[in-house]
């Protein structure tokens, strides 16, 4: 069945060791020049330059700044996507690193510089081993993950076609996992992410005569408290859910009751039933404020990305491959309520997202933090893990 190299472990390890110093330099260059969603012009240029250097056919300008490379195997077989995201965050870096962001209020605080560089390393390894691949690898360098928009546009522009994709691998660095370790989750691994905005309309008036007004601030305060019952009393307790209000605005002066108050929040769920229950409950509670407190609630509810569902058909061989390459380094973990748009691909083809430990010894880093400094050893380890997974999946 398989025509893998006689010793794929050594081949992958040796190629990775040879290219790792250059990969770290590329990562530091990307880190110093972060770009936000759909603005990744320079980053995409680095990707295209490196794919051209390796000799990999590629297409640029997909979803504005996305890049897709193609590695044809030596024999016919399925088409495997390996995806990395490229965009940074609007955060001012506080690491003090010599290669820290050179742009104010822009930082790779989620490690997408790590992801982009890791996939470039995987590209070089798999290009060298292409004769042993039974199938095709599509290298997807995606813009705008943080805006939860890039994957949608890339799919709309046909990245799952020509050639038609059969399965997908994603990955994400994890600062809460020590470098050298890997994680996986069966079934839903990340949550669906929906957003809502509620404007509570009352009647303005003098703060000293509240009986002559209809106070939307008091009504909004009651409603915010009621929304906490959505998780505790509306959703099946065996189905994880989160309802969080992160923004509230209302009023311009301390002695005026305003006409309206607006708040915004997010709903995170892993199951369709919980998602439906949460949306219905929020809308019902808002509607009930008209009778209860004489205010009218204008509700906008937007469904975002679905849960990211890991498929055992990709997960099992991928994790077996990681263990063949690096030893007993992969452990199972439960889902988390974060979200990302690789989930859109997981709804269309069998997919798996690998967690790559990036926690440096002695540090307690976290994503989306101005001081985030991942251990760069995760790049080479990620290259080895993903390359061996692709080799096994296409064998």
Rounded to an integer, what is the distance from CA 140 to the centroid of its chain? 14
**Positions in the chain short of pLDDT 70:** 1-5
- Domain spanning 8-190+308-393: CATH 3.40.630.10: yes
Alpha helices in 228-311 (DSSP H): 229, 272-293
What pLDDT is attached to residue 4? 55
Q: Nearest Cα to 27, choosing from 378, 273, 395, 349?
A: 378
The CATH number of domain 192-302, selected from 3.30.565.10, 3.30.70.360, 3.30.1320.10, 3.40.50.300: 3.30.70.360
Sheet arrangement for strand 57-62: 57-62, 66-72, 134-142, 75-85, 167-178, 351-359, 182-184, 330-332
Give just the sign of the alpha carbon dihedral 342, 105, 374, 267.
negative
**In the chain, ranges of CATH 3.40.630.10 domains:** 8-190+308-393
CA distance 286 to 197: 11
305: its two tokens? 């990305």
What is the pTM assigned to this prediction? 0.94
Three-state SS for 220?
helix
């Amino acid at each position: 069945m398989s025509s893998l190299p006689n010793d794929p472990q050594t081949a992958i390890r040796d190629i990775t060791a040879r290219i790792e110093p250059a990969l770290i330099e590329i990562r530091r260059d990307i880190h110093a020049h972060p770009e936000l969603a759909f603005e990744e012009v320079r980053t995409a240029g680095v990707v295209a330059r490196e794919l051209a250097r390796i000799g990999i056919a590629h297409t640029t300008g997909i979803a504005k700044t996305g890049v897709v490379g193609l590695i044809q195997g030596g024999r016919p077989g399925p088409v495997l996507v390996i995806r990395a995201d490229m965009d940074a965050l609007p955060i001012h870096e506080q690491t003090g690193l010599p290669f820290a962001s050179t742009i104010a209020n822009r930082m790779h605080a989620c490690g997408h510089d790590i992801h982009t560089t890791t996939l470039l390393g995987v590209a070089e390894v798999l290009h060298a081993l292409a004769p042993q691949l039974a199938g095709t690898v599509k290298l997807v360098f995606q813009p705008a993950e943080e805006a939860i928009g890039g994957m949608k546009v890339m799919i709309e522009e046909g990245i799952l076609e020509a050639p038609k994709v059969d399965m997908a691998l994603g990955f994400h660095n994890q600062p809460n996992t020590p470098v050298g370790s890997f994680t996986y989750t069966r079934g839903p691994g990340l949550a669906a992410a929906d957003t809502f905005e509620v404007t509570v309309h009352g009647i303005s008036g003098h703060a000293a005569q509240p009986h002559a007004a209809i106070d939307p601030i008091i009504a909004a305060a009651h409603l915010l408290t009621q929304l906490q019952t959505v998780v505790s009393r509306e959703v099946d307790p065996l189905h994880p859910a989160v309802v969080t209000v992160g923004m509230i605005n209302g009023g311009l002066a301390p002695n005026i009751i305003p006409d309206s108050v607006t708040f915004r929040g997010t709903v995170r769920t892993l199951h369709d039933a919980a998602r439906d229950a949460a949306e219905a409950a929020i809308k019902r509670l808002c509607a009930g404020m008209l009778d209860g407190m004489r205010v009218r609630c204008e509700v906008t509810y937007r469904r975002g990305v679905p849960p990211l569902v890991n498929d055992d058909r990709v997960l099992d061989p991928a994790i077996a491959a990681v263990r063949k390459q690096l030893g007993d380094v992969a452990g199972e973990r439960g889902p988390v309520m974060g979200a990302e748009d690789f989930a859109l691909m997981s709804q269309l083809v069998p997919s798996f997202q690998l967690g790559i430990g990036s926690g440096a010894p002695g540090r307690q880093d976290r994503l989306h933090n101005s001081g985030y400094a991942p251990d760069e050893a995760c790049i080479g380890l990620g290259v080895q893990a993903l390359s061996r997974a692709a080799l096994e999946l296409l064998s």
